[in-house]
Amino acid sequence: MDRIIIRGGTRLRGTVRASGAKNAALPLLAASLLAHTGTTTLLDVPTLGDVQAMIHLLRALGADVQCDGTRVRVHAQYARLFAPPRDWVAQLRASFTLLGPLLARHGEAIMPLPGGCAIGTRPIDQHMKALRALGADIDIGQGMVRAAAPPQGLTGAVIALDVASVGATQNAMMAACLAKGTTVISNAACEPEIIDLAHFLCAMGAHIDGAGTPHICITGVAQLRAVTHTVIPDRIEAGTYMIAAAMTGGRVYVERARSAHMRALIVALEQMGVQMTSDEGGIFVRAPDPLCAMDIDTAPHPGFPTDLQAPMMALMLRAHGTSTMRERVFENRYQHVAHLCRMGGQIDVRGDTATLHGPCALVGADVAATDLRAAAALLVAALAAKGETTMTGVHHLDRGYMECAARLRTLGAHITRTKVPMRMHVPSLA
């Protein structure tokens, strides 16, 4: 167990590089199982806890996976197993994107129900709806999903998702690539990670049109080949560094941040008074004082991303006036609020809406991260707080932010990472 100690109050300055996107890399790793022969090479795969868990799962299924820094090579020819181990599946939600590829390749898959951040009930009904439409017989019981394709294999179909689920869209796309005939996914998720997956699958030989729109059309092919692919930059990590820069009144260039993937964040920050200029290499952020209050609703892409809701709330505490945040994607995503209040934040939560009364004089405190983006929010708040903040639950941060403390240090932050003594008290506000 590690903890992070932050002495706040330093304006961040310099350049930070966005890593490859975790949420793109995870389904790409799952999709690498679709290549029967050859070696898939993925470049710019972030070295994160979730990625390590997915690599472990691929190996447990029989794939040969070699990692060299951010380059991952997957040889899946002998990946003949179709029942990933429960303990590892439970570690991350994205493990469930193995279901589509396993079903498409083996005609069979046995998956434990997935884990991940505890930010809502996170049902799997849309994944089931999509795979059943393709002809899969699915049985759910005792924490397991058992899926079987008919003897003639999966068949293309119209899949009308009730919710534009990212994971369900990815599972449907991967399964449909090897199904017979044409599949149309309507109300598909439009996130940049969906487009990245489509580019990867098309390079492998799949026929996919419309990725990035609510209607995706896939014509099945008999087989897919291994390719080399570079993962897109992480818009959530980049956005977190942009928010951190704004929080400290700093001047930071976020290298590889793609404005086309981050319109909703850029619009929100601009309305708060943050100045940004983007070029082909990234986005430069400069934040004058004071910042204006802001009202934001989270929404599926291209709306404001739920994954930036928590760090954005930390920034709203710096703004002058009353801001509101409405969380419209997940029903239990305000676990950072109690800890932000412990640091001096004035926040009321009613249902899906948080009201923030700024500007708040934030002070360092002992806080505990409860999930990945909550950890990012506490870190952002701590960077601007007076005095010292000690944050436990750092393993959550490690799931989504590569070398976070070291990168913030290069921007001038006073941040150290140490081991928690075995008997140390971990603050709980539950």
Which residues are designated catalytic?
117
Interaction mask 278-307, ligand UD1, x per CB under 6 A: ----------------------------xx
Q: Quick check: 118 binds ligand UD1 (CB under 6 A)? A: no
Q: State in angstroms the smallest separation of the CB of 30 from ligand UD1.
A: 10
Interaction mask 411-430, ligand UD1, x per CB under 6 A: --------------------
Stretches 1-9, 141-149, 165-173, 250-258: which one binds ligand UD1 (CB under 6 A)? 165-173
Contact 429, 365 (CB under 8 A): no
DSSP-derived 3-state class of residue 59: helix
Contact 2, 418 (CB under 8 A): yes
Residue nearest to ligand UD1 (CB): 167
DSSP-derived 3-state class of residue 257: coil
Q: What angle do CA 387, 246, 15 make, to 5 degrees?
A: 95
Among 4, 26, 368, 411, binds ligand UD1 (CB under 6 A): 26
Q: State in angstroms the smallest separation of the CB of 351 from ligand UD1.
A: 15
Stretches 57-65, 119-127, 240-248, 403-411: which one binds ligand UD1 (CB under 6 A)? 119-127
Q: Quick check: 136 binds ligand UD1 (CB under 6 A)? A: no
Among 329, 368, 369, 384, binds ligand UD1 (CB under 6 A): 329
Q: Quick check: 258 binds ligand UD1 (CB under 6 A)? A: no
Among 3, 106, 122, 336, binds ligand UD1 (CB under 6 A): 122
Q: Quick check: 124 binds ligand UD1 (CB under 6 A)? A: yes
DSSP states of 185-234 as a string? EES----HHHHHHHHHHHHTT-EEE-BTBSEEEEE--S-B---EEEPPB-
What is d(CA 36, CA 55) in angstroms, rounded to the nearest whole number? 17
Q: State in angstroms the smallest separation of the CB of 83 from ligand UD1.
A: 21
Using CB atoms within 10 Å of the CB of residue 256, give its burial: 0 to 12 exposed, 13 to 18 middle, 19+ buried.
buried
Q: Quick check: 196 binds ligand UD1 (CB under 6 A)? A: no
What is d(CA 96, CA 156) in angstroms, rounded to the nearest whole number? 21
Which neighbouring-strand residues pair with 275?
286
Q: Quick check: 220 binds ligand UD1 (CB under 6 A)? A: no
Q: State in angstroms the smallest separation of the CB of 304 from ligand UD1.
A: 11
Question: Could you tell me which residues come within 8 angstroms of residue 176 by beta carbon, excluding any fewer than 6 positions away?
Answer: 134, 154, 156, 159, 183, 185, 218, 220
Q: Quick check: 147 binds ligand UD1 (CB under 6 A)? A: no
Q: 344: how many CB neighbours lie within 10 A of its CB?
A: 16
Instruction: Give exposure, 347-383, as e/b (b: 16+ Cβ within 10 Å).
Output: beeeebebebbbbbebbbbbbbbbbbbbbbbbbbbbb
Amino acid at 112: P
Q: Quick check: 125 binds ligand UD1 (CB under 6 A)? A: yes
Residues that bind ligand UD1 (CB under 6 A): 23, 26, 93-94, 120, 122-127, 163, 165-168, 189, 193, 306-307, 329-330
